[in-house]
Structure 1
Amino acid sequence: MSTAPLASLSLTHVHYDPTDRLSYLCAFLALVPQGLCVAYATLVWSSREAEVLLMFAGQMGCEAVNWVLKRYIKEERPSQMHGKGYGMPSSHAQFVAFFSIYLTLFLLGRHTPHPSQTHTPLLLPERLGVSVLALGSAAAVAQSRIYLNYHTPRQVLVGCAAGAVCAVGWFVVTEWLRREGWVEWALETRVSRGLRVRDLVVTEDLVDAGWARWEERRRRKLVKRT
């Protein structure tokens, strides 16, 4: 048997106070970015939606900005924390700020489901509720980084600000790409056609994917039985 010391996987290794229930909850909140990456990958593979791909591209660009900022500013984490790497700005705060703000901009500014094109359209109050929930969840994740002493309040605030700037900036860029026809052009390329990339979520909800075909198949079965 090997006697080599074991190493900790830093991607998911979170320090917390086991005697503090709130600290325990914050440790799980620290895993939200990893969970969102899994959700991104799942949606990209299952939906092949252009808007999801654009949002994921912006999210990765936001992460690249954080990597550059940390190595440019070189501010250490709080002294009582054993975490590795620089702390300014908080990558967790920047990640969730981008996600929640871009999602809010999409739901309130770009997503326009039409009753004639979708069976279960999200109404404006519902989209507003989802946006508030996303923003509140992002705030909880950002606050957890302070509570666990991984970051100072200033590092978290700068992370949120950087994520917000990236989200608004990328939303403006994608809006320009759509208005100028670049998204439509990309969807007609051989690669996009081969990967079956589509652009339906702007006017339809993801839950409607394939629903019309299912309803038509169900209707034919009922007619055949009668």
Structure 2
Amino acid sequence: MATSPLKAVSLTHVRYQRGDQLGHFLAWVSLVPVFISLGGFLSHFIFRRELQGMFFALGLLISQFINEFIKTSVQQARPETCALLEMCDSHGWPSSHSQYMFFFAIYFTLLSYKGIGLWGTESKWIMNLLAWSLALLTMYSRVYLGYHSVAQVFAGATLGMFLGALWFWVVNSVLFCYFPAIEESQFGRKFYIKDTSHISNVLKFEYDNARAAREKLDEPRMLMKMLFQENQVLLAAAVAGSTGLVAKRILEPCVNSDETTEEPKKCDESCGDREESEGITEENKESVLWLNMLKCGIVVDIWRWSQRRVR
């Protein structure tokens, strides 16, 4: 029988018996390492760029290279079911899927135990339980679907836990000292690489700071809204009851020409009260003051908005 010239990528090559619902489910479970790599770590780099996460991903890559080296060196065949799966041209010891998932589970657990991560103490045990459940299901799926023997998946799991624990020690005992230098490097500054492992609850920290920044950004607008709401009765009375001369004095330019003299008559530089202006009496002075405040608030708001657009 001639050897097929085509070869499948073993990491994503998953088959199951038609009509087998459990096999269908476990086939998707076998793809969890792909989902973690592409969906998890790629999204992590795009949106978070944490050094702990980046070194986590680097450790998984190193682990997979070690796995391929051992497979090529040992060259242990897969189970007899490999013929149906068209996978007999690749080696089976140790299982790369099991190694990947148990590396991920042990490293994730150690991160949580040390207090590094995005979750609070109350939810850490749930995330750790999920990681270990996925690791065990992946190991079982490789045997159930016929890609590996029991010995091969246990070898992969053992090697994955050993490499995961070793890499965690290397990162957090040796490489951790270089994190500040990486943050301050040209690469770190350009791509906003950061380390938040010193923060106990990163999600809460980011949530609080995001809200504080939003409140600070909206403070002028909220102040004017509050002033308007608290004094809308007064403002309505000022608009309805003030004379046309009062409205004219509020809206006219700050430099006016006198009809009888050639020299310009300058108003007060601030948008405050004009106590000596014509048409402003003691009765409507408070109304005019509120109208001036509203006018100044709108100008300041527009100026700040324009400054944000320029930046």
Name the TM-score class by shorter chain. Answer: 0.7 to 0.9
State yes or no: 1:142 paired with 2:147.
no
Alignment partner of 1:171 out of 161, 168, 175: 168
SS in 2 for 1:19: coil
Show the counterpart of 2:192: 196
Aligned-residue offset at 1:129: 2.1
Superposition map of 1:15-164 within 5 A: 15-38=15-38, 39-81=40-82, 82-83=86-87, 84-111=89-116, 122-123=120-121, 125-164=122-161
- Which stretch shows the higher mean deviation, 20-29 or 77-86? 77-86
Q: Is the 8 A contact 1:30 1:144 kept in 2?
A: yes
Provide the rounded CA distance (Å) in 1 between the counterparts of 2:185 and 2:204: 25
Q: Is the 8 A contact 1:51 1:202 kept in 2?
A: no
- Counting matched residue pairs gives 213
TM-score, with length taken from structure 1: 0.85
Aligned-residue offset at 1:57: 0.7
Q: Is the 8 A contact 2:111 2:117 kept in 1?
A: no
Q: Is the 8 A contact 1:177 1:183 kept in 2?
A: no
Show the counterpart of 1:116: none
Q: Which runs of 5+ in 1 are unaligned?
A: 1-6, 114-120
RMSD: 2.4
TM-score, with length taken from structure 2: 0.63
Higher RCO, Cα 8 Å, sep 6+: 1
Distance 1:32 1:202, change over 3 A: farther
Amino acid at match of 1:158: A
Q: Which runs of 5+ in 2 are unaligned?
A: 1-5, 227-311
Distance 1:54 1:209, change over 3 A: farther
Percent identity between matched residues is 24
